[in-house]
Structure formats: C-alpha cells, structure tokens
Amino acid sequence: MITTKSEREIECMRHAGLIVALAREAVASAIRPGVTTKQLDSIAEKVIRSHGATPSFKGYNGFPAAICTSINNVLVHGIPDHTVLKDGDIISIDLGACYQGYHGDSAWTYAVGEVSDEAKKLMQVTKESLFAGLRQAKPGNRLGDISHAIGEYAESFGYSLPLDYTGHGIGTHLHEEPPIPNVGTPGKGIVLKEGMTLAIEPMVHVGKPFTRVLNDDWTVVTKDGSLAAHYEHTILITKDGYEILTINREDTQSIYG
Ligand code: MG
Ligand code: MG
C-alpha cells in the first residue's frame, strides 16, 4: 500500500531526516586516508542516538551496523569493519535514522583524499542524476517520470544503472511501496500525490549494470569490478513539487554535498 503522511507524521520525518543529515555530515568530516569503516559507523551511531533516534539499518534483516560503507566497486550494503580507507578510494555511506517511529534514509559518495578523474566524473554525474530525478517529483507526474529522468541522465554519459536495486517509499517502515527503479518510461507508473514520502536513490556503474552479492550475504559489488556511486535523499511530495527531508537546513551545503 502506498501511503500519504499527515502533517504530524511529516514533522517526525523532517526530524528523522535532520538527524540523518547530521550523522552524514559527521561521517563526511571524518573521511580521510587511515580511518576505518568501523570508526565511521561508530560516529554515525553516536550522532543518531544522541538525538533520540535509532539507526534504522542496525538489525534490519540482521544487518550488523548503523551504516553501509561501500568502497570503490562495492555498490551498496558494504559492512563496516577494520578496512582502512586509502587515498584514491571512493566510499558510499548509506544511513538511516528512526525518530518516533518514522525513518529517514540517505546515501552519499565521498572521495578519500585525491581520486581519479574517472571517479570524480562518476560521482558528479550520479549526484546530478539524483537531482534530475527530483525535478520530476511533483503531484500529477508519474513514478516513471522520476525513473526515466535518472536513467536517461546517467546513461547519456555511458554509465549503467543496475535494475535489481531501487529507491522506495518510506515512513513507518524503512522500505515501503512503491519500489522506485532508476530506469523507466515517462508517463508510466503510479501518479505522485502530495504527502507521499519517497527515498530516491540512483546507483550508477561505470561499467555494465550487473551485480553480485559476496559470501557475507550483504556486500553487493559490480560484476565487472567497475566503480559505483550512490546518492539518496528522502523527500516529501508537496503541493507543487518536493521537499528534501534528509538535509540540515542550517547548512545548505548538505543539500548538494
Ligand atoms: Mg539508503
Ligand atoms: Mg533507501
């Protein structure tokens, strides 16, 4: 079932989104060569809990950490551990917070030290594809308009988008209906309505769109070993467009990273 949220529910989601943004900023400022992904996880969990929220991912289907840390050819769901970040890596941080029963979910890809031009371009295009999708988020448009805008933008640079991982509705559950693919046909799919809350999240590969899951049953890597990037915001469909919920309004930089 696709739900629309009441004003009270939206306030909880704004608050959850702010906590996600604060945790994302804290992690971002700690990313540098020499830090471990487990250290980043601890920072995020501390920020989330210090604001009276719980990490949405911890325990979700048995996931063992507060954040996903996905390095280089890891697309999503990397598990924080003692891996040390190196100069030239890129790392996608995906994190969620639950405040008074409502979730926020956001992901961002960061450069560790100085990265290759290929990595910089992938990150830039993936981030821009998120905003290309968001520009289609308004009442009366259809879900396929968002999906198409994301996919068409990223593919115009020769990149690919895996079909097996999608965005999603979000609210009292981290993942709600509808799934939101990153490729699609304009004019198709459900009609967007004011009050819907959606997590839009392009995942983009430099190489082919195929993925595989490692033996830990979580870590998703690109099958051809190519670099991958991931950007995500939780949004609210408003009367005439959208509002990003996973931002810190005091720091507008956090909208664009
Ligand atoms: Mg996420
Ligand atoms: Mg998500």
Which ligand is nearest the CA of 200, by number? 2
Domain 7-256 has CATH 3.90.230.10: yes
Given a cut of 60, is residue 26 above it in pLDDT? yes
Burial class (CB in 10 A: 0-12, 13-18, 19+), 225: exposed
Three-state SS at 222: strand
Burial class (CB in 10 A: 0-12, 13-18, 19+), 3: middle
54 vs 42, 95, 161, 201, CA distance in Å? 13, 11, 31, 21
Query: What's the pTM value of the predicted model, to 2 decimals?
Result: 0.96
CA of 114 to the centre of ligand 1 (A): 25
Given a cut of 50, is residue 222 above it in pLDDT? yes
Which ligand is nearest the CA of 174, by number? 2
CA of 177 to the centre of ligand 1 (A): 15
What number is the average pLDDT over the span 72-86? 98
CB 175 within 8 A of CB 61: no
Given a cut of 80, is residue 90 above it in pLDDT? yes
State the pLDDT at residue 50. 98
Which ligand is nearest the CA of 230, by number? 1
CB-proximal residues (5 Å) to ion ligand 1: 94, 105, 107, 232
The pLDDT tens digits of the residues spanning 189-217 come to: 999 999 999 999 999 999 999 999 999 99
CA of 35 to the centre of ligand 1 (A): 22
What number is the average pLDDT over the span 60-71? 98
The CA dihedral of 44, 47, 53, 56, to the nearest 10 degrees, is 0
CA of 204 to the centre of ligand 1 (A): 14
Of 109-113, 124-128, 229-233, 248-252, give the lowest mean pLDDT range: 248-252
Q: Which residues contact 19 (CB under 8 A, 6 or more apart)?
A: 47, 48, 51, 53, 97, 99, 104
What number is the average pLDDT over the span 145-162? 98
Which ligand is nearest the CA of 231, by number? 1
State the pLDDT at residue 93. 98
State the pLDDT at residue 250. 77
Give the pairing type, strands 197-200 and 167-169: antiparallel
Tokens matching residue 4: 């629309």
CB-proximal residues (5 Å) to ion ligand 2: 105, 199
CA of 106 to the centre of ligand 1 (A): 5
Tokens matching residue 120: 């910089």
The pLDDT tens digits of the residues spanning 43-55 come to: 999 999 999 999 9
State the pLDDT at residue 249. 83
State the pLDDT at residue 252. 57
CA of 136 to the centre of ligand 2 (A): 18
State the pLDDT at residue 10. 98
Handedness of CA 144, 149, 151, 156 (dihedral sign): positive
% of the chain exceeding 90 in pLDDT = 96
The pLDDT tens digits of the residues spanning 165-178 come to: 999 999 999 999 99
State the pLDDT at residue 253. 55
Tokens matching residue 198: 């959606």
What number is the average pLDDT over the span 9-24? 98
The pLDDT tens digits of the residues spanning 122-151 come to: 999 999 999 999 999 999 999 999 999 999
